[in-house]
Amino acid sequence: MTENKKRTFEIIKRLKKEYPDAHCELTYASAFELLVATILSAQCTDERVNVVTATLFRKYRSPQDYLKVAQEELELDIRPTGFFRNKAKSIQGASRKIIENFGGDIPQTMEELLTLNGVARKTANVVLGNAFGIASGVVVDTHVSRVSHRLGLTENVAPEKIEKDLTVLVPQKDWILFPHLLIAQGRKICQARKPKCEICVLESICPKIGVIPNDR
């Protein structure tokens, strides 16, 4: 076992202890709702998405419901999440394909999910991992990217390459949980502008790559 893999195991162990309740913070009651919420979460906080979907998910309960309204009406419903025109188009396009190609059910493979409008690997991994418990890969968002880079787990910038690096280091049984641990760490401690290294549980094993000393 490489030293980096051993250190990754220790990182996971410490973060599990620090964040025992780490989980997906998007609110959803079905795989389809999680798909919609994840599409809405692009360039938007989970908190704002949850505020919007609290009303949205009462109005729209199935893929068919999203196709019964004009795109302009859906745009108004999701406007607070930003990029609402593209997101409305993606949600309706995905809903149409779910009905036409998958009998109204959310597909449970990466390959099939990637055929849906607005779905890239991040969204597919979120749905597969959190709705179905399928560890198909590691979700890479801005927090995961930043924290994994600072921890020296990757030198890559492209999400797909970061994911590939992480799947080598992280045991598959932790692929679903690991992003939630890094997201919690990124929000609470390893923040973008001013990481709180002095109170970080990983301080003794962190190379602090990309951390400016004056910001500590």
Residues 74 and 60: their CA atoms lie apart, in Å, by 10
| Active site annotation includes 208 | no
Residues 167 and 155: their CA atoms lie apart, in Å, by 14
CB hemisphere CA count around 180 (13 angstroms):
18
The residue annotated as part of the active site, out of 122, 161, 194, 215, is 122
The residue annotated as part of the active site, out of 5, 16, 46, 141, is 141
Q: Please state, in angstroms and as integers, the Cα–Cα distance from residue 213 to each residue in 165, 194, 209, 216, following that order.
A: 26, 10, 10, 5
| Active site annotation includes 141 | yes
Write phi, then psi, for 190 (nearest 5 degrees).
-90, 60
Residues 144 and 11: their CA atoms lie apart, in Å, by 13
Residue positions annotated with a catalytic role: 122, 141
